[in-house]
Structure 1
Amino acid sequence: MSTFSTRVFRTIVAAATIPLLLCPALASADTGSADTGSAGIDILGDLLDVGSGVLSGSGGDGSSDGPTQPCNRSRKSGGAGVTTTTHSLGRSGPLSFVLTYETFSIPDRIQVFYQGAQVHDTGYVGDQINQGTGSATVRLPAGSATTVSVKVTGPSNTQWEYTVNCP
């Protein structure tokens, strides 16, 4: 992407994000998902990361360049690869929150990072018997960040969803 295209994209994203900052209710609204087969595009849904597969900024340390998603909002995917999403917790550590997840019948790995350090790892969970249904209490150490990054790694034909519940 050219420098000009990058600047234009960032300007559009910034302009679309301003209403979220001014009206937090918009950020927690269920926006549905983008339908790439139709003429309309759900910009708010795109900003809140409703896609699947490899998401931009999905670094091995759980870092993310994408938009921040509020806690208590389900994160869903239907694709393979690595997806990293940043979630706002509203306050900094030390604190704990509950991570609920469903990895269905194909095993996926869910890792949680706080200030760049891994604080939880489910390992690969999900099979034909328990469908990968689970939850974990994630404890964060003292810190200044008010967000966590969640990195999900899954193989082909996977489906998963999780929720970072507010502390």
Structure 2
Amino acid sequence: MNAHPESILHAAESVVAVLKEFQTEAVVIGALALAAHHYVRFTEDLDLGMNASAQKFRAIAEALRARGFHVELREPDADDPLSGVMDVMCPGGLIQLVNFGQTFPAVIEDALQAPPLTVRPESALRVVPLPHLVALKLYAGGFKSKADVVELLRRNTDADRDEILALCKRYRLRGLPELLEEAGK
């Protein structure tokens, strides 16, 4: 699949408009959020983090299908750290809705309370703030996510280290001090 940036942004803005019909908001996470925070990593999709009950998540999938999107809904199993993932295929590429609603809703709720950083002027696509992106990466775990945290910290020398530490401590996430040390912060 070849992603077309302008097409996928337009489609993601349409998806966010559908979410609003369900009184649900989302923030851009994943590679686009990394890029917004000065760490460019190749990707072909656009990830949105959100909170929804299982019932609302299914209803959103149906509403997107009714608007012509091809949607694949993956509901969580008992061991899943997420509350489901929805793949929304569009002409510009893949939009992935990552649901934290039953597992880690605080990080999305808190990110939505922060001053908005949008992907472009007048866009409804809000980028997750850096401290919350670090928290999401720590929550995800794994080598790639930890490497992302180190690179984010290296590329954002003006980031408030204490704010990031406090946020991750509040969420009871482990491993940040070691990554800060590796990043030279």
TM-score (norm 1): 0.28
User: Which of the pair has the greater relative contact order for Cα pairs under 8 Å at 6+ separation?
Assistant: 1
Higher helix share: 2
Higher strand share: 1
